[in-house]
């Protein structure tokens, strides 16, 4: 078992409603692909037998053929074995016999657990209002902005009931350098029904909430048009921090993108963005690039340019004086 997975087997403390099991419980600690239930040892044997890339591992083990969430863990195993001969592949390639119905259309939410040194925590509430009589089983992955998975829970929500998962500083702060991560929910069934995840951002003075954003039904295919990602930004009575958080949910790397600010007074600014591969996330502090936004004196809009096939995005506004976060999804 890796040192990382050893750290992930501690129990979560109960708080209020029943919480999910801790990241990668004892029964899952040796599994690298949670969708297809492929153990680490099976992948290691495939590498010993000559696998040199993700495609080889897909063919030999079926790992990384559903949600692709274990990609970076598989690459770590390849790098460990191959050393300097390992070659990272920026684009995720589905296997040749890829069945698009296999992809579970995951749902994404930002996780703030002490982000920026602030007293802010995240809690997920997944409710199943009117679904089939059997519980809705799902997996929750906790990922770094780099896309690396650092935790995984198995959970279920019965019809008319909710699952509550604590992603606070106390529970996961040690897994998220900088206090920022990404939650990804993967359903065990193709039909979502009424199951809906919400995330709460909690501070000593407030709770704010909104729901997840889904990835595309088939991230390997581009749609007939690109996706225009636009957020309005209003004036505020006091200085605020304005962050834009988005996730690349298409298999093709996102390169050459920029945020374009356009004020109602005609002023504009462009902010170049770093490249982001599949399921890597980026957070941009607009207030650090546009002074008038930070002071609250400007109103306008922000767009992602050029437009993409699909991203999952949120705007986070923070009033440090009142310890108040407000969140708006794309």
Mean pLDDT of the chain: 85
Element (H, E) at 125: strand 121-128
- Residues 180-204: pLDDT tens digits? 999 999 987 666 667 789 999 999 9
Contacts of 232 (CB under 8 A, 6+ apart): 299, 300, 301
**Structure pTM?**
0.87
CB 280 within 8 A of CB 247: yes
Confidence at 1, pLDDT banded by 50, 70, 90: very low
> Which fold, 8-25+104-213?
Hypothetical Protein Tm1070; Chain: A (2.60.290)
Query: Could you state, in order of their start, the residue ranges of all structural domains in the chain?
Result: 8-25+104-213, 36-100, 230-329
| Same topology between domain 8-25+104-213 and domain 230-329 | no
pLDDT bucket at 75, cuts 50 / 70 / 90: very high
Name every residue whose Cβ is closer than 8 Å to that of residue 295 and which is 6 or more positions away in sequence: 239
Distance (Å) of CA 254 to CA 23, 39, 244, 280:
29, 31, 16, 9
Give the domain 230-329 fold.
Answer: Jelly Rolls (2.60.120)
pLDDT the model gives residue 242: 96
Cα atoms in the Cβ-side hemisphere of radius 13 Å centred on 186 = 19
Both structure tokens of 320: 């440090």
The topology (CATH level 3) of 36-100 is Arc Repressor Mutant, subunit A (1.10.10)
> How much of the chain, in percent, has pLDDT values that exceed 90?
62
Compute the average pLDDT of residues 82-105: 81
């Amino acid at each position: 078992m890796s040192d990382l997975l050893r750290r992930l087997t501690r129990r979560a403390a109960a708080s209020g409603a029943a919480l999910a099991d801790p990241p990668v419980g004892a029964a899952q600690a040796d599994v690298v692909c949670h969708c297809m239930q492929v153990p680490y040892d099976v992948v290691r044997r495939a590498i010993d037998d000559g696998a040199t890339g993700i495609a080889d591992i897909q063919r030999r083990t079926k790992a990384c053929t559903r949600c692709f969430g274990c990609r970076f863990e598989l690459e770590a195993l390849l790098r460990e074995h191959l050393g300097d001969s390992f070659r990272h592949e920026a684009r995720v390639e589905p296997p040749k016999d890829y069945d698009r119905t296999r992809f579970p259309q995951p749902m994404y939410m930002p996780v703030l657990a002490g982000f920026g040194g602030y007293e802010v925590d995240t809690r997920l509430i997944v409710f199943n209002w009117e679904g089939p009589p059997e519980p809705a089983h799902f997996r929750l992955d906790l990922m770094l902005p780099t896309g690396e998975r650092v935790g995984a829970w198995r959970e279920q929500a019965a019809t008319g009931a909710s699952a509550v998962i604590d992603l606070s500083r106390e529970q996961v702060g040690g897994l998220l350098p900088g206090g920022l991560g990404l939650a990804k929910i993967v359903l065990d069934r193709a039909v979502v029904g009424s199951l809906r995840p919400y995330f709460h951002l909690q501070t000593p003075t407030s709770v704010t909430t909104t729901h997840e954003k889904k990835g595309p039904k088939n991230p390997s295919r581009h749609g007939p048009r690109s996706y225009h990602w636009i957020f309005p930004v209003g004036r505020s009575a006091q200085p605020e921090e304005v962050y834009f958080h988005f996730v690349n949910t298409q298999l093709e790397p996102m390169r050459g993108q920029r945020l374009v600010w356009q004020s109602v007074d005609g002023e504009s600014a462009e902010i170049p963005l770093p490249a982001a591969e599949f399921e890597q996330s980026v957070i941009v502090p607009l207030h650090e690039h546009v002074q008038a936004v930070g002071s609250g004196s400007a109103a306008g809009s922000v767009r992602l340019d050029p437009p993409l096939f699909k991203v999952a995005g949120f705007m986070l506004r923070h009033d440090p004086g009142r310890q108040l976060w407000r969140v708006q999804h794309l």
